[in-house]
Chain A
Amino acid sequence: MEQADAKEETMEQADATRAGRPIVVALSSDTMGRGDDDLGRVLLRNFLHTLGEVDPAPDTLICFNSAVKLAVEGSPALEDLRRLEARGVRILLCGTCLGHFELKDRVAAGEISNMYAIAETMLGAARVINL
């Protein structure tokens, strides 16, 4: 039953991609889930690595709040983000958030963006997957 659901989900995602409407993954922190931040950081690294291997890849990855820390020099997720970019995934980084954490001059993947682009990307998406 679960397998059937997963297959249906994959087909829906493929349909959305075919229709030309992007799939967007939005990261709101540098952890995945709540409960234990150390575990959450490992899980998010795992997630980003896996995104580089599965289909369909998202069209856009949006990082805001502490998620922008993933895209700066020294981040352990950098290699996976660059791999996603090489696959054609656009990575948008919240400029306000980079400024808040004083990381604007350390961006090493993705592009510094603003809330207009982020909002338009979300509103134009076939689906937004929020983590």
Chain B
Amino acid sequence: MSAASPTHTLFLVPSANHAVQGERALLRAGLGCRLIPVPRDLSSQCGVCLRVRFADRGRTEEALTAAGTVVEAIHDVLMD
């Protein structure tokens, strides 16, 4: 049985400020995103990350880099 394809990509950032800055950058770039808590299976610490559609992964990475948003990790996930 093959694993299901990811639906979303999570961009983990170092702080809530980075998340807010990243969200603004993505909205300016016309990319839909949501701030959500970092899932427990990715980190036991309280954190916030940016969730985008998996299809937007590449454009998101480019937009965040252009905006100078620090990204600590990227995870492709299956979510509702």
Contact = CB atoms under 8 A, between A and B. Distances in A.
Interface of A: 38-39, 42-43, 45-46, 49-50, 76, 79
Interface stretch (B3-11, B31-39, B59-67): B31-39
A66 B19 CA distance: 23
Interface residues of B, number: 9
Contacts, number: 23
Interface in B13-49: 16-17, 19-20, 34-37, 48
A38 B37 contact: no
A45 B17 contact: no
A49 B37 CA distance: 8
Nearest to B80: A83
B34 A42 contact: no
Contact of B48 (A46, A76, A79): A46
A42 B19 CA distance: 9
Contacts of A39: 16-17
B37 A46 contact: yes
B17 A38 contact: yes
Contact of B20 (A38, A46, A50, A79): A38
